[in-house]
Amino acid sequence: MATAVPAERDAVAQAFPRPAQELRLPGAVLCRTAFAAGAVVDLLAAGVGPARAAASTATALTAAALDGAPYDLVVSAGIGGGFAPEAPLGSLVVADAITVADLGAATADGFLPVTELGFGTVTHHPPESLVRAVAEATGARTGTALTVSTVTGTADRAAALRARHPRALAEGMEGFGVAEAAAAQGVPVLEIRAISNPVGPRDRAAWRIGDALAALTAAFGKLAPALESWKPHDQ
């Protein structure tokens, strides 16, 4: 499971019954824990932004594959912005589409995603059966999670993003990078976001980071049956 920063990683770790063991890799540090039934879980504070998150996730994936124990699933988890009113503060979003919102070109006619320029990828789709199971277990809303390199800070940009991505519920900075690394090695991916602030005008006083981290812990406390029972052939 890849988060951006240690505070998010530690919030996820609190949901597991076993203390984490630190494992050092070149350029990355894993915290290894396990579900009560014994399935191993590696937690990674992958860094902020899609590029760093992709690089750190790729390091962990490659190390596991070379060790003969490749991962069955990669989860991008953390707090993020929510598009009102569908994703209010403290709610949970599980992505059925992980989309990079600002990879492309600005033109006189508006933004063009990189796919319309004839190359690249802009969306990864998590396994439908797993998204369904996670939403049922946690009460999460399902929709598109947008990945951006620059966090939205104005009402105009929030409106523009919703116009281009009408199913968008959450905004973060790492999900697409994690998904790209997972896809390169053929590993399914999931993204879960606890909403800490509204997407729109930047207002630090309105952020509820502590509440969102607590929601993240609570969510992962409910996820064990869904994640333990899911297998790649279920997708």
In terms of residues, how long is the chain? Answer: 235
229, pLDDT greater than 80: no
At residue 232 the predicted structure's pLDDT band, cuts being 50, 70 and 90, is: low
Domains, the chain, in order of start with CATH, read: 2-234 (3.40.50.1580)
Q: What percentage of the chain exceeds 70 in pLDDT?
A: 98
Mean pLDDT to the nearest integer, 11-33: 91
For 140-191, the pLDDT digits (tens) are 999 999 999 999 999 999 999 999 999 999 999 999 999 999 999 999 999 9
DSSP assignment, residue 76? E
pLDDT at 79 over 80: yes
Predicted confidence (pLDDT) at residue 214 exceeds the cutoff of 60: yes
- Here the tokens at position 155 are 């009402």
Q: What is the per-residue pLDDT across 81-116, written as a single tens digit (0 to 9) for each?
A: 999 999 999 999 999 999 999 999 999 988 999 999
Determine the residue type at 215: A
The pLDDT of 60-81, averaged and rounded, is: 95
- CA angle, 192 then 218 then 201, to 5°: 55
Residue of 128 and 231 predicted with greater confidence:
128
> Which residues touch 82 (CB under 8 Å, ≥6 apart)?
88, 89, 91, 93, 169, 170, 171, 193, 195, 197, 198, 199
Residue 54 has pLDDT above 80, yes or no: yes
Give the pLDDT band of residue 231 (cuts 50, 70, 90). low
**What is the CB neighbour count within 10 angstroms for residue 156?**
11
CA distance from start to end of the chain: 19
Mean model confidence pLDDT for the chain: 93
pTM: 0.94
Determine the Cα–Cα distance for residues 171 and 101; give it in Å rounded to an integer.
9
For the chain, state the CA radius of gyration. 17
